[in-house]
Amino acid sequence: MYARHVLALLMAFVVAAVIGGCSAQSQTDSTGDGSPTSPPGSQTAEPTADADEPSRADASSEAASEEAAATEAGGAEEEDVDVPELLQFEATTLDGAAFDGSSLVGKPTVLWFWAPWCTTCIGQIPQVEALAAQYAGEANVVGVGGLDSDSAIEDFAADLDGLTSLVDDEGAIWQRFEIIEQSSFVILDADGQEVARSGYGDDVDLSSEVAGLLN
């Protein structure tokens, strides 16, 4: 009786050991390395590169190039103009607007120094107006009225057409250009350098002088 009881216990132990071994073997075979397997479809997908990344990079590069080109162009436009000392002055036009002498740089310029009571100056008005019309957009023709009150200068200049008229009742511009008589003309090249002048009684062909500077 005792022997049968011991034998039954031994058989139960053997059966349990066999079943446990089969279960462990089944798990090992399913993974190949002893690690547990994941259910089908549970794998996490690897992150993929954004298909739009290349186009975004190209757009960013193009924008940077355009910005650099705009900056370079802007820098070129902002370069200081070489203004001679002679043209570093400010004045007032017949209309009361501010006038900067540096604005004359870039084109040939004819400066006409006149006085309201000067009969010679009055006789030269048609000649100066014709000169301004002939070279409109190509050369500057500027009248500088002086040697009288601002009201007298303004009255005279009101009859002038086609040219810029400056009111120089204090004579500052006359002194800058060393004008000692009316009527006088000073001709400047496009760089603002004086190339010719004429005073009372001088015979200068203003049109030919300007044409020579434009050619």
40 CB burial (10 A radius; 0-12, 13-18, 19+): exposed
Residue 30 belongs to a domain: no
Residue 27 belongs to a domain: no
Q: Where are the alpha helices (DSSP H) in the chain?
A: 2-31, 53-77, 119-134, 150-157, 172-176, 206-214
Q: What is the distance between the alpha carbons of residues 211 and 215, in angstroms, rounded to a whole number?
A: 6
In this predicted structure, the answer to whether residue 46 has a pLDDT above a threshold of 60 is no
Task: Supply the pLDDT for residue 202.
Answer: 80
In this predicted structure, the answer to whether residue 76 has a pLDDT above a threshold of 50 is no
Average pLDDT over residues 42-51: 50
Task: Supply the pLDDT for residue 23.
Answer: 46
Residue 134 belongs to a domain: yes
Residue 80 belongs to a domain: no
Q: What is the distance between the alpha carbons of residues 205 and 67, in angstroms, rounded to a whole number?
A: 50
Note whether 128 and 157 are within 8 A (CB): no
Please indicate whether residue 201 or residue 93 has the higher confidence score (pLDDT). 93
In this predicted structure, the answer to whether residue 100 has a pLDDT above a threshold of 70 is yes
Q: Is the dihedral of CA 71, 72, 74, 78 positive or negative?
A: positive
Number of domains in the chain: 1
Task: Supply the pLDDT for residue 204.
Answer: 81
Q: What are phi and psi of 147, to 5 degrees?
A: 60, 30
Using alpha carbons only, what angle is made at residue 142 by residues 114 and 193, rounded to the nearest 5 degrees? 105
Residue 54 belongs to a domain: no
Q: Domain of residue 170: give its range.
A: 85-214
Q: What is the distance between the alpha carbons of residues 53 and 58, in angstroms, rounded to a whole number?
A: 9
Q: What is the distance between the alpha carbons of residues 11 and 9, in angstroms, rounded to a whole number?
A: 5
Per-residue confidence band for 62, with pLDDT thresholds at 50, 70 and 90: low
- Relative to beta strand 194-198, strand 184-188 is antiparallel
Per-residue confidence band for 75, with pLDDT thresholds at 50, 70 and 90: very low
Task: Supply the pLDDT for residue 176.
Answer: 97
What CATH number is attached to the domain comprising 122?
3.40.30.10
Residue 111 belongs to a domain: yes
Per-residue confidence band for 26, with pLDDT thresholds at 50, 70 and 90: very low
Residue 152 belongs to a domain: yes
Please indicate whether residue 204 or residue 114 has the higher confidence score (pLDDT). 114
Note whether 213 and 190 are within 8 A (CB): yes
pTM value is 0.64
The mean predicted confidence, pLDDT, of the chain is 78
Tens of pLDDT, residue by residue over 129-185, are: 999 999 999 999 999 999 999 999 999 999 899 999 999 999 999 999 999 999 999
Residue 5 belongs to a domain: no
Average pLDDT over residues 114-131: 95
In this predicted structure, the answer to whether residue 121 has a pLDDT above a threshold of 90 is yes
Please indicate whether residue 21 or residue 177 has the higher confidence score (pLDDT). 177
